[in-house]
Each structure stands twice: as structure tokens, then as C-alpha cells.
Structure 1
Amino acid sequence: MERWPALELASTIRHDGTGGVADDLATPQSTARWIHRQAELLAGHVDVAGLTVDEKLSGEIVGLRRAVRALFAQAVSPAPPSRADAHRLMPVEQALAHLNAAAAREAIVPQLDWPGDAPPRVGVLSDESDTNVRLIAALARAAIDFLSGPQREQLRACNAPRCVRYFVKSHGRQEWCKPSCGNRARAARHYQRHNATPTRDLPGT
């Protein structure tokens, strides 16, 4: 399954398995773990091994996530957005300004790399020495690429009970982000059908 950095960032808000919502960026430590899981996706843009994740960097990534999730909500409209933050979304114009400003923090030159028999890939040449700035800019550029690409048309908010994820629809009938969400949604529908209280007409009505 294809992975996108923007979708990975948005998915740091997720169902915690017990009915609540978990935040993978809640602390600098959990943020560092998430960043290192994205090392392969960010290769060619930033070397995450050299990062020092503190409160400032963690807060900047959370701010970028707010902007991305607001724009994801705009992308799936008029369908409802993720329930996790539908009531406190950043205004779209503010989200756009935030995303573009983050991307502009690093001046880059695209570079083509073609190693041996492997497919060619794009990297970037940058004079930016601050790895933290490079990370924020790379995540912002990835979000811009995602939202301006064809996958935006297939972006959906999972409507299964308790799920708060966004996902990219991979086939025509896909309604949920993963099979377990589909099973939970079907079970909920079955319960509702078989436990609905029938209404009876009162005598004389």
C-alpha cells in the first residue's frame, strides 16, 4: 500500500482502540518516534537521524498537522470531515498560509538521482543547515504535492464507528480505511437493525 507523508502526518491523530483518540505527537518523545518511522518516506529530503526533537519542533509539527487536517477537511467536503477535530478546524485561508509559509522556509533545488538499475528518484539540494527547518519544509512540501495531486480526489474521512482517520480510496466501493473498520461498521448497522424498537399505534389513533 502506498504511503504519503501528508497522510501519515494527518494520521497521528487516531482511534486509541478503547473508544478515545490518541495523539502520536503528544510529547517530544512520541514525536521523535513518529519521525523516525517516516525516515524512508523522507529520504532524499532530510536525514532524520540527525534530528533533535524538542518542544519547539514538536509544536511546529503539530501546527503543520492542524493546517493539513483543515485542508483535508476541505478536500473531502461536502462529505463530513474526521470527527476528531471537526469542531475546531483551522480556517482554510489560515491553513493555506501556514502550509505555504512552512514550505518556503527552505530554498531547494531539485536533483535527479538514478542509482544503478533502480528507478530514478528526485532529491533536493539545499543550503539549509538546520535539520529541523528542513524537516518542517519537507513535510509541508509533501502536503502540497498530495493536495495538488490526483490522490486528493480519492481522499475520504473514514465513517466507521470511533474511527477518525483519513484515507485514500483505492477502489470504487471502498468505504472505510481498513477491513477492521468495515467489520465494525457492519456490526453497528446489524445491531441497529435488529435492536430498533418498533413503534405501535395507540388505540384510538
Structure 2
Amino acid sequence: MERWLALELASTVRHDGDGGVTDDLTTAHGATRWIQAQADLLAGHVPAGEMAADEDLRIELVELRRAVRALFARAVSPAPPSSADARQLMPIDEALAHLNTVAARETVVPQMDWPPDEAPTARLLSAENDPRVRLVAALSRATIDFLSGPQRTRLRACSAPRCVRYFVKSHGRQEWCKPSCGNRARAARHYRRQRVATDGGSTSS
């Protein structure tokens, strides 16, 4: 399954499997674990596998996530946003400004490589020495790429009970982020139908 940095950041708020919501960025240690888990997606930007978050970086990640989830909520509209933060979303203008400001913190310069007997290739090199700045800037640029790309139209908020994830639809009829959410949603529907049938039978007797 394809992974996107923006979606991975948004998904640090998730269902805890026990009826509640957990936050992977609650502590600096949790933020460190999350950063290191994204090493493959961050390759070429920062040595994520070696990074350790302090409290300042954790707060930066949480604030960037707030902007990302607000923009995700706009992307899925008029469908409802994730229930995790639907009542406390960052205003869209503020979210856009924050995203663009963080992305601009890292100066990148284009470089072209052209080996003998091969086609030329282009890459971006960072002029920023601080890996923490490169990290949040890379996450911001990844969000800009994600929301300006074709996957935005396939972004959905999972409608399964208690789930708070956003996901990208992989096929036309997909309603939930993963099979377990589909099972939970179908079970909830069955339970509601049973209740309606039972209540209706009691009323008519």
C-alpha cells in the first residue's frame, strides 16, 4: 500500500483499539519513534533513523499536524471531517499560512546530474544545516504535494465507529480505511437494525 508523509503525520492521532483516541506525539519519545518509523519516506531529506525529538520539535510537529488535519477536513468537505478534532480545527487561512511558512524555512537549490551516456536528472539540495528544520519543511512540502495532487480527490475520513483516520481510497467502493473498520461498521449497522426491529416489535405488541 502506498504511503504519504502527510497522511502519516495526520494519522498520529488514531483510534487506540479500546474505544478511545491515542496520540503518537504526546511525548518527545513518541515523536522520536514516529520520526524514525518514517525513515524510508524521509530518505534524501533527513537522517530520520538517527533523529531524536526534543520538546520543541514535538510541539512543532503537533502544530504542523493541526494545520494538516484542518486542510484534510477541507479536502473531504462536504463530507464530515474526522471526529477527533472536528470541533477544534485550525482556521483554514491560519492552516495555509502555517504550512507555507514552515515549508519556506528550508532553502533548497536545484542541481542537475548528467553522467556520460545517461539521461540528465534533477534533484534538490538543501542549504539548511539543522535537520529539525529540514524535517518539518519536508513534511510541509509533502503536504503541499499531497493536497495539490490527484490523491486529494480520493481522500476520505473513515466513517467507521470510533475511527478518526483519514485515508486515500484505493478503489471506487471503499468506505473505510481498513478491513477491521469495515467489520466494525457492519457490526454496528447490524446492531442498529436489530434494535430497530426489537423496538418496533415491542411497540406493536
Q: TM-score, normalised by structure 1?
A: 0.91
How far did 1:109 drift? Answer: 2.0
The residue aligned with 2:92 is: 92
Change (3 A) 1:49 1:187: closer
Judged with a 3 Å threshold, the aligned counterparts in structure 2 of structure 1 residues 35 and 138 are, in CA distance, closer, same or farther, namely same
Rate the CA distance shift 1:177–1:141 in 2: closer, same or farther, 3 A. same
> SS at the partner of 1:109?
strand
Q: CA deviation at 1:123?
A: 4.5
Higher mean alpha-carbon deviation, 150-159 vs 190-199, is at 190-199
SS of residue matched to 2:124:
strand
Listed as ranges, the matches of 1:182-201 within 5 Å are 182-196=182-196, 197-198=199-200, 200=203
Aligned residue number for residue 44 of structure 2: 44
Q: Distance in 1 between matches of 2:99 and 2:25?
A: 18
Tell me, yes or no, if the aligned pair for 2:71 and 2:95 is still in contact at 8 Å: yes
- Please show how residues 7-86 of structure 1 align to structure 2 within 5 Å: 7-86=7-86
1:168 paired with 2:168, answer yes
Supply the distance in 1 between the matched residues of 2:36 and 2:82 (Cα, whole angstroms).
Answer: 26
Of 20-29 and 40-49, deviating more is 40-49
Query: Is the 8 Å Cα contact of residues 35 and 49 (structure 2) preserved in structure 1?
Result: no
Deviation digits for residues 95-124 of structure 1 (CA, Å, limit 9, x no counterpart): 000000000000102456799xxxx98753
Q: Name the count of aligned residue pairs.
A: 198
Shift, 1:72, TM fit: 0.1
Deviation at 1:53, TM superposition (A): 1.1
Task: Normalising by structure 2, report the TM-score.
Answer: 0.91
**CA–CA separation in structure 2 for the residues paired with 1:127 and 1:88:** 36
Alignment partners' CA distance in 2, 1:42 and 1:108? 15
RMSD value, Cα: 2.0
Could you tell me which amino acid in structure 1 is paired with residue 91 of structure 2? P
Q: Which amino acid aligns with 2:108?
A: I
1:195 offset after TM fit, Å?
1.5
Is the Cα contact below 8 Å between 1:12 and 1:25 reproduced in 2?
A: yes
Question: Secondary structure of the equivalent of 2:81?
Answer: coil
Aligned equivalent of 2:109? 109
Report the more deviating stretch, 189-198 or 50-59. 50-59
What SS class does the counterpart of residue 87 from structure 2 fall into? Answer: helix
Query: Which residue identity lines up with residue 78 of structure 2 in the other structure?
Result: P
Identity of paired residues, percent? 69
Question: Which stretches of structure 1, 4 residues or more, deviate above 3 A after TM superposition?
Answer: 110-115, 120-123, 199-202
Contact 1:4 1:146 in 2 (8 A): yes
Q: 1:72 to 1:191 in 2, by over 3 A?
A: same
Separation of aligned partners in 2, 1:99 and 1:121: 28
Is residue 160–residue 182 contact of structure 2 (8 Å, CA) maintained in 1?
yes
Q: Which runs of 5+ in 1 are unaligned?
A: none
Q: Equivalents in 2 of 1:82, 1:13: separation in Å?
A: 10
Cα distance in structure 2, aligned partners of 1:57 and 1:160: 32
Q: Are the aligned partners of 1:5 and 1:143 in contact in 2 as well (CA < 8 Å)? A: yes
